[in-house]
Amino acid sequence: MSREMLQLAEALASEKNVDPEVVFSALEFALSTAAKKKANREHMDVRVEIDRHTGEYKTFRRWLIVADEDYTYPDVEKTIEEIQEEIPDTTLQIGEYHEELLENEGFGRQAAQTAKQIILQRIRDAEREQILEEFLARKEDIVIGTVKRVERHGAIIEIGKLDALLPRDQMIPRENFRNGDRVRALFLRVDEIGASGRKQVILSRTSRDFLVKLFAMEVPEIEDGLLEIKEAARDPGHRAKIAVKANDQRIDPQGTCIGVRGSRVNAVTNELSGERIDVVLWSPETAQFVINALSPAEVTRILIDEDKHAVDVIVAEDQLALAIGRGGQNVRLAADLTGWQLNIMTVAEAEERNAAEDAAIRNLFVEHLNVDEETADILVQEGFATLEEVAYVPAAELLEIEGFDENIVETLRNRARDAILTLAIASEEKLEDVEEDMRNLDGIDQEMLRDLAQAGITTRDDLAELAVDELIEITGVSEEEAKKVILAAREHWFTEEN
């Protein structure tokens, strides 16, 4: 039998062109499986050890040594106390294995067949791993392959000997592939599939990086470093925007990316199933970048709110539809490109909003500074928007206002300080009305609590009933923060339902 074992291992290793150790390992597994079947104990732990030189083998049953409190599986575990009783002089410790020699199970036809199947599977796994390693070593961003088959969850793309997956959600909408089609895609990542840990290459045709890499292939100046794509935004299959910057002042970045008669941009568009691409100039200045990003719409003026990371974009009435785009596409892509929240409005809407804001500030001054509307209007026209500005800006600035003398300035400043203190006390009193379960919500802080209390939101249910945009308007937090807080406030609703 020992000679037969060596001959079998040698024959299989030669036939499958694999390391003999792979064959021996598979044979050991097959023999251990046969031993478990013979004992009718599928869950016991059996180890087989084949001598690589003689072909002789031994079969062992193993138990893991565990502490009393961890003892769960009697077929494969023994407590340290049990082992010490069985073998008084044992040196085994918790976490080590105790082995008992078993009678060898004959290596019959079924065991041989099992071993062969295991060897074939391991060979296939090794080949896949080697092919994957070779693919990753090439560090290819853009790959070209052939559609091997189309499945419900995506298309299997054959790249040389490697099978990669192009998932449905990474395909351009309305894109249909058939077996044999040539496909270009971006290498996205490597996923592990199932408990086996088999690795799968994932491709993408919707990633913005795919758009950038395609331009790099079409525009040699990008690879040469003469120009670069600073930002990109996509609505895959429909429209995209890229922001380009020249590192050589002699180069026109837009014209270079577009190409003669649009040849370069059209080549990328054709690869992306007709996706329309706007090439805009990148600028380090937020205002200019936003104006460029909203092209082809013409912008009248913009107002930047650094605190809210938002930009109010004011356009003429005939430019409104162009600025927003079909289904909000143009403004959405421009926002993605610039990283700013963009609020589009007409000149008339901006004037109406400004008038409403001015009226609110005017009423604030009339009520809390105890001045007439004319004086309040003067403060608004001079750019004062809060009581804090009136109270704490240098007195010299107020004295520059026509008709304001030292007595008026001092009176206004004192009244503003008194009003701030009074409002702060009132705010703290309202804060006391906020219920405890609302105070302890994740993501909520004192400043947010004050804003909510000021708006009459004092219970968890009050907060839970708010829409995200309402919470943003009250507190000025980001959309992500607002969603987190509202979900936390609503959590008890779902718990009660369950």
For 359-370, how does the pLDDT look when each residue is reduced to its tens digit (9 = 90+)? 999 999 999 999
Q: Is residue 164 part of a domain?
A: yes
| Mean pLDDT within 43-51 | 87
More confident residue, 194 or 308: 308
Q: Which residue has the tokens 């893991």?
A: 64
How many whole angstroms separate alpha carbon 172 and alpha carbon 154? 12
> pLDDT band at 73, cuts 50/70/90?
confident
Quick one: 84 and 172 in the same domain?
no
Quick one: 1 and 73 in the same domain?
yes
Under DSSP, is residue 174 helix (H, G, I), strand (E, B) or coil? coil
Q: How far are the Cα atoms of 2, 423, 442, 446 from residue 431, in angstroms, in the given order?
A: 85, 12, 18, 9
Residues above pLDDT 90, as percent of the chain? 39
Quick one: 170 and 115 in the same domain?
no
How many whole angstroms separate alpha carbon 371 and alpha carbon 358? 16
Quick one: 7 and 65 in the same domain?
yes
CATH code assigned at 99: 3.30.1480.10
Q: Is residue 308 part of a domain?
A: no
Q: Which two tokens mark 132? A: 């994957």
Q: Is residue 352 part of a domain?
A: no
How many whole angstroms separate alpha carbon 210 and alpha carbon 171? 12
CATH code assigned at 168: 2.40.50.140
How many whole angstroms separate alpha carbon 418 and alpha carbon 387? 10
The sign of the CA dihedral 176, 177, 182, 187 is positive
Residues 6+ apart with CB under 8 A from 189: 202
Under DSSP, is residue 491 helix (H, G, I), strand (E, B) or coil? helix
Contact 195, 189 (CB under 8 A): no
Sheet architecture: strand order including 341-346: 301-305, 310-315, 341-346
pLDDT tens sequence across 391-450: 898 888 888 888 888 998 899 999 999 998 988 887 777 777 778 888 888 888 888 888
Number of compact structural domains in the chain: 3
Q: Is the pTM of this model over 0.75?
A: no
Quick one: 161 and 108 in the same domain?
no
Quick one: 147 and 117 in the same domain?
no
Which residue range is the domain that position 160 belongs to?
Answer: 140-204
Domain boundary among 87, 121, 155: 121
Q: Is residue 158 part of a domain?
A: yes
Quick one: 169 and 65 in the same domain?
no
pLDDT of residue 146: 95
> pLDDT band at 261, cuts 50/70/90?
very high
Domain boundary among 172, 204, 236: 204
pLDDT of residue 196: 64
Quick one: 19 and 105 in the same domain?
yes
Quick one: 86 and 46 in the same domain?
yes
Q: Is residue 336 part of a domain?
A: no
Domain boundary among 176, 204, 232: 204
